[in-house]
Chains A and B, each alone.
Chain A
Amino acid sequence: MKKIIVEGLKYKYPLSDTLALADLSFEVSEGEFIGIIGENSAGKSTLCQALVGLVPHFYKGAYGGKVFVDGLEVKSHSIAEIALKVGMVFQNPFTQVTGSKMSVYEEIAFGLENIGLPRLEIIERTNYVLNLLKIEKVKDHNPFDLSGGQMQRMAIASIIAMKPDILVLDEPTSQLDPAGSEEVFSAIQKLSKQGITVILAEHKMEKVARYCDRVLLLNNGKSVDFDSPEKVFSRKDLEDHGVVAPVYTRVCKALGVKMAASDYYPVTLEDAERALRGRME
């Protein structure tokens, strides 16, 4: 069975006149790394929140359609129950720090205490994720004393410790510097390689092209396309949907250089180099 099933999802925020999500349907298989792109009001964040239950349980509002995560229907389960299947990391590193714990170690254990795990298991899991996200060195620091990149890695660690099979990230690097951004992307890629299903909403198209198996392009709450990065970024109408292709694709499009034996343009630095070399020789 597919890991995530979305059927005819519709949603309207309480004080709004327009649908934030308008009849979305798609499926995601286990272990896929999906990128969600689109302009600012396209519905990326809303969709992320619909996968963890914040929509509709936190916001209320008008909800229609079905969302299944790992067999569980979002509408009929509490956020805490869904949190065992799907974890979410938000944009702002600061507001994900609970403020009730004095060390990174305790901060990570917080979620595990909430879901009632036995002590030995809490310790085991916390040690594991500290190591996985490479933040063991700061485990005794005050959570507010970390850099932005470290804080986001701590947020990811706190979520992963709860062992969800699916990880949703809503523009997790937008407030980080390039080095912090890179740290977070490597961590996410590592998790993806371990088999976790990753859903990432992003503006950095070069990163989406590099890491994602498939890309979901949203516009006005609707799905415009859901396919491999090459196919989506090769579309001629990207700018109509408020999105630009990665810079490498733009160059190749302008020069009319497609990938060898393919109908599509390159989307990464390496592919673009290969294709353009061929052209230049």
Chain B
Amino acid sequence: MKSISLYVERDSFIHEVDPITKMIYILFALLIPIILPSFTISFLCLGISLLLLVMAKVIRKTVPVFSFVFLVLITVVIIQGLFKPENETVLFQMGPLAMYKEGLLYALTITLRVMNIVSSFMILVLTTKPSDLVEALVRKGMSPRIGYVIVSVFQIIPEMMSSMGTITDAQRARGMETEGNVIVRIKAFVPLLGPVILGSLINTKERAMALEVRGFNSRAPKTYLYEEKTYTHGRLVQSVMLLLVVGAIVWRIFA
């Protein structure tokens, strides 16, 4: 794999929305349930995010992520349901253990909040190329050097991983055992650490020199190979979200 980005290429409306709008959406999905803390609102937000993921035709790619999140959340549900201090009302009994309503409801709140964040994040990550995101930010004023660091991580990490393969081979070639029980595998880690870190440092230094001679630190204002991507409806969507947030705050204050 040449890049570790999660971007999935699809032909959808969501893919055509600009990255900045998607970043604002994450904030939006986070704020609304906080301003109006009710289960209905939380479910609504989650529903909207999931709908957007379906529209972006990437819903299947979210399954592994959601599965992992569910696993973690189940432990929360169990622990809160059984042991939360304010637990009073028993919902059902399982032998000596009792599941309490307060705990379960609290766990549900947490679950919804996490799911909201994860799904809105997924919309950004699955439908945006890292380079497009960074270019949008740099055009808005972020330093191009930071932009470079962010984008290069996606390709350089796979390179590091493959060099780790070479280092492992070099140590195996000297008799270091890598196949076997857990202890053996852990012991095999130590001879890898030094070379991997050193290798990365050396590569970073060489790369920094190569970047310097490509004008990386030039003080001239940066230009772009591609025309600025015109994203459909960016402004409109951002305005709608802003209105909704304001509306929510108003509702909260007066209701």
Cα–Cα, bound, A120→B203 (Å): 33
- Which of A14-22, A75-83, A199-207, A232-240 lines the interface with chain B? A75-83
Chain A residue numbers with a CB within 8 Å of B222 are: 113-114, 116
Q: Report yes or no: B155 in contact with A119, Cβ–Cβ below 8 A.
A: no
- Please give the distance in Å from B203's CB to the nearest CB on chain A: 5
In the complex, the 5 A-B pairs of residues with the closest C-beta atoms, listed nearest first: A116-B220, A95-B206, A111-B214, A80-B218, A114-B215
B219 at interface (Cβ–Cβ under 8 A)? yes
- Which of B22-30, B71-79, B108-116, B223-231 lines the interface with chain A? B223-231
- Please give the distance in Å from B8's CB to the nearest CB on chain A: 15
A158 at interface (Cβ–Cβ under 8 A)? yes
* Cβ contacts A to B, 5 pairs, < 8 Å: A83-B218, A98-B211, A102-B3, A113-B222, A113-B224
B106 at interface (Cβ–Cβ under 8 A)? no
- Please give the distance in Å from A58's CB to the nearest CB on chain B: 6
Cα–Cα, bound, A67→B216 (Å): 22
Interface membership of chain B positions 138-178, coded 1 if the CB is closer than 8 angstroms to chain A and 0 otherwise: 00000010001001100110010000000000000000000
Q: Report yes or no: B209 in contact with A99, Cβ–Cβ below 8 A.
A: no
Query: Using a Cβ–Cβ cut-off of 8 Å, how many residues does chain B contribute to the interface with A?
Result: 32
A273 at interface (Cβ–Cβ under 8 A)? no
- Please give the distance in Å from A119's CB to the nearest CB on chain B: 7
B91 at interface (Cβ–Cβ under 8 A)? no
Which residues of chain A in 75-117 are interfacial with respect to chain B, using CB atoms and an 8 Å cutoff? 78-81, 83-84, 87-88, 90, 92, 94-96, 98-102, 106, 109-117
- Please give the distance in Å from B42's CB to the nearest CB on chain A: 38
Contact residues of A: prevailing secondary structure = helix
- Tell me the number of A-to-B contacts counted with CB atoms below 8 Å: 111
**Known contacts A95-B203, A109-B225, A116-B221, A80 near B210 by CB under 8 Å:** no
Kindly identify which residue among A52, A80, A145 contacts B216, using a CB–CB cutoff of 8 Å: A80
Q: Report yes or no: B209 in contact with A90, Cβ–Cβ below 8 A.
A: yes
Q: Report yes or no: A111 in contact with B215, Cβ–Cβ below 8 A.
A: yes
- From A94, A100, A109, A117, name the one whose CB has the most chain B CB atoms within 10 angstroms: A100
Cα–Cα, bound, A78→B217 (Å): 9
B236 at interface (Cβ–Cβ under 8 A)? no
The residue on A at minimum CB distance from B217 is A80
Cα–Cα, bound, A101→B208 (Å): 16
Q: Report yes or no: B220 in contact with A115, Cβ–Cβ below 8 A.
A: yes
Chain A residue numbers with a CB within 8 Å of B209 are: 49, 54, 58, 90
**Known contacts A99-B155, A123-B225, A114 near B207 by CB under 8 Å:** no
Q: Report yes or no: B215 in contact with A99, Cβ–Cβ below 8 A.
A: no
B213 at interface (Cβ–Cβ under 8 A)? yes
Q: Report yes or no: A116 in contact with B218, Cβ–Cβ below 8 A.
A: yes
Q: Report yes or no: A116 in contact with B223, Cβ–Cβ below 8 A.
A: yes
B235 at interface (Cβ–Cβ under 8 A)? no
Cα–Cα, bound, A96→B205 (Å): 11
**Known contacts A80-B216, A162-B214, A113 near B225 by CB under 8 Å:** yes
- Please give the distance in Å from B216's CB to the nearest CB on chain A: 6
Which residues of chain B in 45-69 are interfacial with respect to chain A, using CB atoms and an 8 Å cutoff? none
Q: Report yes or no: B212 in contact with A119, Cβ–Cβ below 8 A.
A: no
Interface membership of chain A positions 243-271, coded 1 if the CB is closer than 8 angstroms to chain B and 0 otherwise: 00000000000000000000000000000
A156 at interface (Cβ–Cβ under 8 A)? no
Chain A residue numbers with a CB within 8 Å of B206 are: 90, 92, 95-96
A25 at interface (Cβ–Cβ under 8 A)? no
- Please give the distance in Å from A172's CB to the nearest CB on chain B: 12
B131 at interface (Cβ–Cβ under 8 A)? yes
- Please give the distance in Å from A167's CB to the nearest CB on chain B: 11
Kindly identify which residue among A58, A78, A117, A119 contacts B227, using a CB–CB cutoff of 8 Å: A119
Cα–Cα, bound, A238→B155 (Å): 45
A174 at interface (Cβ–Cβ under 8 A)? no
Q: Report yes or no: B2 in contact with A142, Cβ–Cβ below 8 A.
A: yes
Q: Report yes or no: A87 in contact with B218, Cβ–Cβ below 8 A.
A: no
Q: Report yes or no: B211 in contact with A119, Cβ–Cβ below 8 A.
A: no
Cα–Cα, bound, A118→B213 (Å): 20
Interface membership of chain B positions 183-206, coded 1 if the CB is closer than 8 angstroms to chain A and 0 otherwise: 000000000000000000001001
A218 at interface (Cβ–Cβ under 8 A)? no
Chain A residue numbers with a CB within 8 Å of B131 are: 100-102
Q: Report yes or no: B156 in contact with A119, Cβ–Cβ below 8 A.
A: no
Chain A residue numbers with a CB within 8 Å of B155 are: 99-100, 102, 144
A42 at interface (Cβ–Cβ under 8 A)? no
The residue on A at minimum CB distance from B149 is A100
Chain B residue numbers with a CB within 8 Å of A80 are: 212, 215-220
- Please give the distance in Å from A200's CB to the nearest CB on chain B: 16
Q: Report yes or no: A96 in contact with B210, Cβ–Cβ below 8 A.
A: yes
- Please give the distance in Å from A52's CB to the nearest CB on chain B: 6
Kindly identify which residue among B2, B144, B213 contacts A87, using a CB–CB cutoff of 8 Å: B213
16 new A-B contacts at CB < 8 Å, known A95-B210, A111-B214, A117-B223: A49-B209, A80-B219, A83-B212, A83-B218, A84-B215, A94-B203, A95-B206, A95-B207, A96-B210, A98-B207, A98-B211, A98-B214, A99-B152, A99-B207, A102-B131, A110-B214
